[in-house]
Amino acid sequence: MSSKKYLNLSRRQVIRGLLATTAFGATAKFGTGCTPSAQTTAGAGGASPAAGGDEPMTVGFIYVGPKDDYGYNQAHAEGAKAIADKFSWIKLVEEASVPETTAVAESMRSMIDIDGAKVLFPTSFGYFDPHILKMAAEYPDVQFFHCAGLYKEGVHPKNIGSYFGYIDEAQYVAGVTAALTSKTAKLGFVGAKPIPQVLRNINSFTLGARSVKPEATTQVIFTGDWALPLKEAEAVNSMADQGIEVVTCHVDSPKVVMETAEKRNMFCTGYHANQVALAPKGYLTGAEWDWTSVYTRLMEDIKAGKSVQSGGIPHILRGGLKDGFCKMSAYGAAVPAEAKQAADAAKAKFMDGSMVIYKGGLKDNQGKEVIPTGGDLKQQDIKLEEMNYLVEGVIGS
Amino acid sequence: MTAPAAPEVLGWWGVPLAILAGMMRGGTPFLFVSLGECITEKSGKINLGLEGTLLTGAMSAYAISYLTGSPWLGVLAAGVSGVGLGLIHGWLSQQPRVNDVAVGIAMIIFGSGIAFFLGKPFIQPSAPPLPTIHLGDWSSIPAVQAALAISPLFVLGVAIAPLLKWFFQSTRWGLFIRAVGDSPDAAKAMGISIFNVRMLSVVAGSFLAGIGGASLSLYYPGVWTERISSGQGLMAVALVIFAKWNPMQCLWASLLFGGAQALGPALQSVGIKEGYYLFNAAPYILTLLIMILTCSPKRTLTGVPGALGTDN
């Protein structure tokens, strides 16, 4: 007996050691034991999606916050629900409030291993590096779709697709509506952080407003993080004190901004999802994501046997109003006919593809020319995704 | 740039007004939590779990207000939920060889976990908020009217502060709490039950902290989300230390913190572009500064309950 060698250990010590080993194994989720077997099942299932038929397919969605936050997560959750309702062969698994830490890697792993998910939508920006990258390398047969423009051809695993919308087009139309509804064209924008996506929304909102009222200004307040309800409320209150008439935002959940604006008798335009219920008097319109159309198309492609790793689905999916990646909320009661007309005209130009938001000769709010004259930047232009300036008419930095 | 001079444009006056309004709006949860912690610490126990209590209070208040349509019932529910958490903390932290700071940290996690778990269905709906007292109706400026629309909870908190000071100074019960906090042995000799006094103090403190949560979700900012407290419960605990366990100073410190929170957004709105991260950090910088100013290696803090943080 090998235990003879350890006879000088007390029984208590042996039991302790056994317990500790068990606990360690449990917390590590028997990682080494599970992974290979899961990979073989995934490998066996890899061929089946192409077979079609009514075979059920598990699709996983992971959100960084609650699913009904009137914001980013709700927009995605609505899309997830829509595809689950539409296609009876989809089995939807969801997990909300997953932080951008190794927690998301564990969520993905259990969705794949336990629920047998073949397609994953980890929706938050910060999930990508390193969590999605690691999981995608580990499970080459599972397709990962990430919402943001971070995918790099050749660098990242082939089974990752990225999709993102030019929602600043909708912000442009909202800017037109806001400027024409207000008397003084003093607009406000509550931003979380000065990163390119936020700056682009601020700029497009402002350019939309200035396209119909050249004297329009947008006061920007950055709160510093994606969800700081108290700061967001303070920001809207300070804007109200400064006589700003219309406020919009780019934060995770616009609920506080909309409700505070309504309390202060301001107008507001929404973001992420439809917030008219929060501000029935002051809600003008809003820039909403339309993930339902994007997810429907993706799932139809996958059902037809296409996959992102075989190249049947492009790695980078982008689109704006025209492609159904985003949409406008219905106009609120306060919007005058003239504003509706101008906004509809702008929208029509996006729909036929003739609209250019970032025209050559554009100046930033320091008076510096940021786009050379004659060098119009189309929406698809990669330069716009590195935006680090605020255009003329924006107050703030 | 001269905008058309609309009567509601305040310009630079917006900053002091925002700070004043922020004191009353944002200071209310600080006030309740710090007064609650003041009672608890006077009895010689620390309750770090008030961060979790604040969240649970905010959630219960919002949920009950939404389900019953009565915000005042919500406030009561917030207090009751605080009592529940207080009972757990009060009992656990008084077990032999149990450290109250460790229990407090567990209670932060427990309180916030239970609030997130039960609060899921209440993120989306809008609950009826508490009515406000309009002190600004004399003014024709909407900004002033909005700033002076104060919460009845704030008035309540301001009233509790001097009451508490009187309670500690001049009542028999106040003396019991101070005795237990300063010298448990003497209290025991007086025939006071240390366990009961501490239990009641922790529960009373948690009750107040729960009501602080109600002020977050039913008054300002007036929503229930998982990020609603953003550390205010913990800051309020720190605030008790530099208020030197004096309820009146808790009041001033809470007002200061509420005002500091409003500083960042207000300065940006008048066009101060630089350093908004710094202004947004104002409450935290303030905490550090006051800690540095009030701490000295040469003497211990005045007013600290003698048995605070010890094992008996």
Q: Which of B120, B268, B274 is facing A221, going by the closest CB pair?
A: B268
B302/B312 Cα distance (integer angstroms): 21
Q: Which of A223, A234, A265 is facing B262, going by the closest CB pair?
A: A234
| Partner A contacted by B3 (CB < 8 A) | yes
- Whether a cis peptide bond, with omega within 30° of 0, leads into A130 is yes
Q: What is the pLDDT of residue B2?
A: 38
Q: What is the pLDDT of residue A247?
A: 97
Q: State the pLDDT confidence band at A159, using cuts at 50, 70 and 90.
A: very high
Q: What is the pLDDT of residue B291?
A: 72
| Partner A contacted by B9 (CB < 8 A) | yes
Q: What is the pLDDT of residue A47?
A: 40
Residues of B in contact with A219 (CB under 8 A): 268-269, 271
**Whether A396 and B271 lie within 8 Å, measured CB to CB:** yes
**What residues of chain B, 23 to 52, have a C-beta less than 8 Å from chain A?**
25-26
**Whether A234 and B261 lie within 8 Å, measured CB to CB:** yes
**Whether A237 and B273 lie within 8 Å, measured CB to CB:** no
**What residues of chain B, 191 to 220, have a C-beta less than 8 Å from chain A?**
220
User: Identity (one letter) of the amino acid at B60?
Assistant: S
Q: What is the pLDDT of residue B283?
A: 77
Q: State the pLDDT confidence band at A265, using cuts at 50, 70 and 90.
A: very high
- For each of chain B's 312 residues, which pLDDT tens digit applies? 334 444 445 678 888 888 898 899 889 999 999 999 999 999 999 999 999 999 999 999 999 999 999 999 999 999 999 999 999 999 999 999 899 999 999 999 999 999 999 998 998 898 999 999 988 888 888 888 888 888 999 999 999 999 999 999 999 999 999 999 999 999 999 999 999 999 999 999 999 999 999 999 999 899 998 889 888 898 898 888 878 899 999 999 999 888 888 888 888 888 777 777 777 788 778 778 877 776 666 666 667 888 887 766
B112/B117 Cα distance (integer angstroms): 8
- DSSP, residue by residue, B9-30: --GGGHHHHHHHHHHHHHHHHH
Checking phi first, is residue A204 left (phi over 0); if not, alpha (psi -120 to 50) or beta?
Answer: alpha
**Whether A184 and B6 lie within 8 Å, measured CB to CB:** yes
Kindly provide the residue ranges of all beta strands, DSSP E only, lying in A63-112, ordered along the sequence. 90-95
A183/A129 Cα distance (integer angstroms): 45
| Partner A contacted by B128 (CB < 8 A) | no
Q: Which two tokens stand for residue A395?
A: 């107050």
Of residues B244, B245, B301, B311, the one with CA closest to residue B100:
B311
Domain ranges of chain A: 3-165+291-319, 168-286+332-395
Q: How far is A166 from chain B (nearest CA, A)?
A: 26
| Partner A contacted by B150 (CB < 8 A) | no
Residues of B in contact with A237 (CB under 8 A): 18, 21, 146, 262, 265
Q: Is A191 helix (H, G, I), strand (E, B) or coil?
A: strand
**Whether B262 and A265 lie within 8 Å, measured CB to CB:** no
Question: How many whole angstroms from its chain centre is CA B293?
Answer: 22
| A81-90 average pLDDT score | 94
Q: State the pLDDT confidence band at A28, using cuts at 50, 70 and 90.
A: low
Q: How far is B216 from chain A (nearest CA, A)?
A: 9
Q: Which two tokens stand for residue A65?
A: 């916050």
Average pLDDT, chain A: 87
In the CATH scheme, what architecture does the domain A3-165+291-319 have? 3-Layer(aba) Sandwich (3.40)
**Closest chain A CA to residue B215:** A230
**Whether B269 and A242 lie within 8 Å, measured CB to CB:** yes
Residue A48, pLDDT above cutoff 60 = no
Task: Please provide residue A91's backbone torsions phi and psi, each rounded to the nearest 5 degrees.
Answer: -105, 115
Q: How far is A19 from chain B (nearest CA, A)?
A: 24
Which is more confidently placed, B140 or A333?
A333
Q: What is the ipTM of this complex?
A: 0.86
Task: Please provide residue B50's backbone torsions phi and psi, each rounded to the nearest 5 degrees.
Answer: -65, -20
Domain ranges of chain B: 6-294
Degrees, nearest 5: CA angle B15-B24-A396 = 30
Residue A41, pLDDT above cutoff 50 = no
Residues of A in contact with B280 (CB under 8 A): 223-224, 231
Q: What's the CATH number for B6-294?
A: 1.10.3470
**Whether B269 and A233 lie within 8 Å, measured CB to CB:** no
Q: What percent of chain A has pLDDT over 70?
A: 90
Residue A36, pLDDT above cutoff 60 = no
Interface test with A, best of B8, B12, B13, B124 (most A CBs within 10 A): B124
| A38-64 average pLDDT score | 61
| Partner A contacted by B299 (CB < 8 A) | no
Q: Which two tokens stand for residue A233?
A: 């409320």
Residues of A in contact with B27 (CB under 8 A): none
**Whether B270 and A242 lie within 8 Å, measured CB to CB:** yes
Residue A51, pLDDT above cutoff 70 = no
Q: What is the pLDDT of residue A76?
A: 95
In the beta sheet, which residues pair with residue A143? A119
**Whether B225 and A229 lie within 8 Å, measured CB to CB:** yes
List Cβ neighbours of B163 (8 Å cut-off, separation of 6 or more): none
**Closest chain A CA to residue B143:** A241
Residue whose tokens read 């779709």: A145
The CATH class, in words, for A168-286+332-395 is alpha beta
Q: pTM for the full model?
A: 0.83
Q: What is the pLDDT of residue B147?
A: 85
Residue A294, pLDDT above cutoff 90 = yes
